[in-house]
Amino acid sequence: MAFTIPWQSLAGGMLLGVSATLLLLLNGKIAGISGIMTGLLTPRTSDFAWRLLFSLGMVLGGAVGASVFANEIPTSFDSSVWVLGAAGLLVGIGTRLGNGCTSGHGICGIGRLSRRSIIATMIFMLVAAMTAFVRFHLV
């Protein structure tokens, strides 16, 4: 079986890297989504506008990307609303415990050679692999 390069994923990763770099260079801010969203929920006038624009850009960028590349956005899920809610709550708790999310640690922290972010990302990936194994092979 021949390996094909996932061009869309490569382009998306490059855009994430460029946007995180520009935000750091131009505003001195880390592009961690949990931190950006927390700042929207507990607004300070000095940085509310860029956080709102960044968040809107993520949503609109996803919608434009889905229509340009003719990808479907899932509208139904195999899990109940309760399971999805519990999963979201656990992600939020983990984000709080880990002092950030995978975008903040994995993209920005590793790029800055932050030891804490490298360790956090390794733990995120290990737990994700274990969860996938349990979900798909044991349950």
Assigned domain for 119 exists: yes
Predicted pLDDT at 4: 77
Question: Is residue 16 a part of any domain in this protein?
Answer: yes
- Domain assignment present for 2: no
Q: Domain count of the chain?
A: 1
Place of tokens 């996932």: 6
**pLDDT confidence of residue 126:** 94
- Domain of residue 116: give its range: 7-138
- How confident is the prediction along the chain (139 residues), in pLDDT tens digits per residue? 667 778 888 888 898 889 888 888 988 888 888 888 888 888 777 888 888 998 999 899 888 888 887 777 777 778 888 988 998 898 888 888 888 888 788 888 888 899 999 998 999 899 889 999 998 999 8
d(CA 139, CA 133): 9
Residue 51 in contact with residue 36, Cβ under 8 Å?
yes
Whether residue 1 is contained in a domain is answered as no
